[in-house]
């Protein structure tokens, strides 16, 4: 059995308006919410959007070893416009943080699960909208961390 490498991982939930970000502990056991960023859709093609610049800053600040970006696969397993958008976003993040690897992971239902868990805790309405992207990023990152542990354990 090989031990998984130590290091902080960053989870990213890409939306049309916001980007949720979560972070793991250095042992890769637990994902926790970090921040919600506004998508910067006005940046020119050659400029780095402010949300991607902030992700790059967080990668450096937390000494991140891997970034995990949610890939919104359809329920049938296909790739629609949302998956294409997430893939393009992951490529821009990868370019901004190289050589830190970026891993795309199936995030089907992560926002639905995150919303349900927040509602179960009594977080609803405007308060839920403010944190659901971070909670979805936690779901994405935690499922990835759990999968990594099962592979190495």
In a domain, 16, yes or no: yes
How much is the CA Rg of the chain, to the nearest whole Å? Answer: 15
The answer to whether residue 147 scores a pLDDT higher than 80 is: yes
**Number of domains observed in the structure of the chain:** 1
Residue 1 has pLDDT above 60, yes or no: no
The mean per-residue pLDDT over the stretch 104-130 comes to: 66
Q: For the whole model, what pTM was predicted?
A: 0.85
Taking only the tens place, the pLDDT of each residue in 6-61 is 899 999 999 889 999 999 999 999 999 999 999 998 766 678 899 999 999 999 99
Pick the more confident residue, 102 or 1.
102
117 vs 54: CA distance, rounded Å: 27
Q: Is residue 1 part of a domain?
A: no
Q: Is residue 3 part of a domain?
A: no
Position with higher pLDDT, 63 vs 133 = 63
pLDDT of 88 > 80? The answer is yes
Query: How many other C-beta atoms lie within 10 A of the C-beta of residue 103?
Result: 15
Range of the domain at 28: 8-152
Q: Any residues with CB less than 8 A from the CB of 85 and at least 6 apart, and which?
A: 14, 16
2 domain-assigned: no
Give all strands (DSSP E) within the chain, no chain letters: 8-14, 18-24, 31-38, 64-71, 102-106
CA–CA separation, 12 vs 141, rounded Å? 8
121 vs 148 pLDDT, higher one: 148
The CATH number for 113's domain is 3.30.420.140
Within-domain flag for 84: yes
Residue 3 confidence (pLDDT): 39
Confidence category of residue 114, pLDDT binned at 50, 70, 90? low
Between strands 64-71 and 102-106, the pairing is: parallel
pLDDT at 2: 34
> In terms of pLDDT, which residue wins out, 25 or 129?
25
Q: What is the mean pLDDT of the chain?
A: 85
């Amino acid at each position: 059995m090989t031990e998984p490498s130590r290091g902080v991982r960053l989870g990213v939930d890409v939306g049309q308006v916001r980007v949720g970000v979560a972070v793991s502990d250095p042992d890769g056991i637990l994902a926790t919410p970090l921040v919600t960023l506004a998508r910067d859709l006005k940046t020119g093609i050659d400029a780095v959007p402010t949300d991607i610049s902030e992700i790059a800053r967080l990668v450096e600040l937390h000494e991140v070893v891997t970034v995990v970006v949610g890939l919104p696969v359809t329920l049938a397993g296909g790739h629609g416009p949302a998956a294409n958008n997430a893939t393009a976003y992951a490529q821009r993040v990868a370019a901004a943080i190289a050589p830190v690897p970026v891993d795309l992971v199936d995030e089907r239902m992560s926002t639905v699960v995150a919303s349900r868990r927040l509602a179960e805790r009594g977080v609803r309405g405007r308060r839920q909208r403010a944190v659901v992207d971070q909670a979805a990023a936690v779901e994405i990152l935690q499922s990835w961390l759990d999968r990594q542990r099962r592979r190495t354990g």
